[in-house]
Structure formats: structure tokens, C-alpha cells
């Protein structure tokens, strides 16, 4: 409800889709930190399959990152809380991982080493060095975090891994 009401006072409120806000912030931050990377957002021209001349199961990764070496990293931002007590997978949903595998199938088929990133807001109780998860065909799924602590935005992002 965009109107916040109380017993004696009423105030207007603004609602934002935090998934989109976080995705935009991460894209902006990466472009600023790594100007030699090509970063595309919401790439829409690919699909997982085809039926006759029509595409089926459209794909739209949040971030498609091309490094100067030509390597492509597919990343998805998630405005969700990771659960530190559930390390090393932090209670990430199976559907989020399946989504990343679908992205790999379309965007990284020619790469010998495929890196997939799920990017979440950082929380103080998360361990800083997370080991990538090896997936069935040798892809590496890395759980990345970005520190949103006011005044300390860039202190804890990640190494290129």
C-alpha cells in the first residue's frame, strides 16, 4: 500500500522494486570498478529453445560480462538474504541454480571454463572467501556479495573468480 497510515498521522510512501534497484546498482558499480569490461544488462535476444520459427523459453540474464580476454561471465543479481548457517550453498534455491545452468547453455557454450555468478547483498556474518561450486559440466558457480554498508560500498566485493 503506497499510503502509510497511523492512528493520527498519514504519510505518503514510495515503493521501489528492490530487485531492479540492486541490479542497476551492481551494474553501475561493476562498470565503474572495471572500465575495461563490457557489461550488458537484461540481454533479451536469446532463448533456450525453438519451436519451428518461434523461440521458446526466453532468457534474460541480469548481467552479461565480457572480459578483455573474450571470456563471458553470466551473472544474476538477487535481492535476497543468504543464510550463513547454510554454507556453502547458503540456502540458494534450486530454481536460481537451474536458471544459471540455462544461461550457461546459451551464452557460454564455446568456453572451456564457464563462470556463473549469483550476486547478493553482503551480510556481516557471511564468510569472505567462498569457494565456487563446481557444477556437472565443469562450470563454476560463484556466490558473490556486494557490501551496501553506508559509506563503505566498495570494501567487500570480490576477486575475479
Q: Tell me the pLDDT tens digit for each residue of 87-125.
A: 889 999 999 999 999 999 999 988 778 999 999 998 888
Dihedral of CA atoms 19, 20, 24, 30 in degrees, nearest 10, equals 30
Burial class of 111 by CB neighbour count within 10 A (0 to 12, 13 to 18, 19+):
middle
pLDDT bracket for residue 22 (50, 70, 90): very high
Question: Exposed/middle/buried for 60, CB within 10 Å: 0-12, 13-18, 19+?
Answer: middle
| Residue 45, burial from CB neighbour count under 10 angstroms (0-12, 13-18, 19+) | exposed
pTM of the model: 0.84
**Which percentage of the chain shows pLDDT scores above 90?**
55
Residue 1 vs residue 109, higher pLDDT: 109
- The DSSP 8-state label assigned to residue 42 in this structure reads S
How many helices (H) and strands (E) the chain has is answered by 2, 10
Q: For the beta carbon of residue 146, count every other beta carbon within 10 angstroms.
A: 20
Amino acid at each position: 500500500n503506497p499510503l502509510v497510515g497511523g492512528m493520527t498521522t498519514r504519510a505518503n510512501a514510495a515503493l521501489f522494486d528492490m530487485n531492479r534497484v540492486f541490479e542497476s546498482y551492481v551494474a553501475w558499480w561493476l562498470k565503474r570498478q572495471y572500465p575495461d569490461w563490457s557489461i550488458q544488462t537484461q540481454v533479451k535476444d536469446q532463448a533456450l529453445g525453438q519451436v519451428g520459427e518461434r523461440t521458446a523459453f526466453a532468457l534474460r540474464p541480469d548481467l552479461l560480462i565480457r572480459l578483455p580476454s573474450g571470456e563471458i561471465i553470466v551473472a544474476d543479481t538477487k535481492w535476497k538474504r543468504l543464510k550463513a548457517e547454510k554454507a556453502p550453498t547458503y540456502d540458494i534455491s534450486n530454481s536460481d541454480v537451474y536458471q544459471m545452468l540455462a544461461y550457461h547453455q546459451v551464452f557460454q557454450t564455446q568456453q572451456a571454463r564457464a563462470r556463473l555468478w549469483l550476486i547478493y547483498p553482503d551480510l556481516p556474518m557471511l564468510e569472505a572467501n567462498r569457494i565456487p561450486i563446481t557444477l556437472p559440466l565443469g562450470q563454476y558457480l560463484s556466490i558473490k556479495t556486494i557490501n551496501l554498508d553506508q559509506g563503505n560500498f566498495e570494501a567487500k566485493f570480490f576477486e575475479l573468480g
